[in-house]
Amino acid sequence: MINVYISSDHRGFDLKNELLSTFSLPEGFSFSDLGPAVLDETDDYNDAAKRVSEAVLHAPGSFGILVCGSGTGVAIAANRHAGIRAVVGWTPKIAELARAHEDANVICFAADFQNSSEAKDALQSFLTSVFSEEPRHVRRINRLDEMEIL
């Protein structure tokens, strides 16, 4: 079973819960809700990104979903973790290319700008696309992993 870890901040809370309750995962996938369980208007997106990033890193082959208002805060925070390749999944094509070219393992959604239908379409594409393993893409990902973090 492939785990799909999901979390949000307060602005992404409703979209996260809608994805959990209405999105039909492809066969062989299962959701793990990493919270929050209740709406907390004072939470920070950093905490959601940390929960999902650590879960994905500890379960090779798993995926993450993060939701905040713009999608960018959680993407930036998630990408601070070595081995995480998070992308804001605006469209199904972006989600597909992020998997095929960057082997992205976390997709981020912008609850203030994407409705649930758009997020579900992008998520479906993300979870069903595969990394191309073309040498140029492997080389670029390896270079990311070699970049010095200050």
- How many helices (H) and strands (E) in the chain? 6, 5
Give yes or no: 137 in active site: no
DSSP H/E element including 146: helix 135-146
* Given 68, 81, 108, 137, the catalytic residue: 68
Angle at which helices 13-22 and 116-128 cross, to 10°: 60
- Rounded to 5 degrees, φ, ψ at 106 are -135, 130
Please confirm, yes or no, whether 101 is among the known catalytic residues. Answer: yes
3-state secondary structure of 141: helix
Residue 147, judged by CB atoms within 10 A of its CB (0-12, 13-18, 19+), counts as exposed
- For tokens 């905040």, the residue is 68
Which residue in 10, 81, 101, 108 is the catalytic one? 101
Contact assessment for residue 95 and residue 129, using Cβ atoms and an 8 Å cutoff: yes
Active site residues: 68, 101
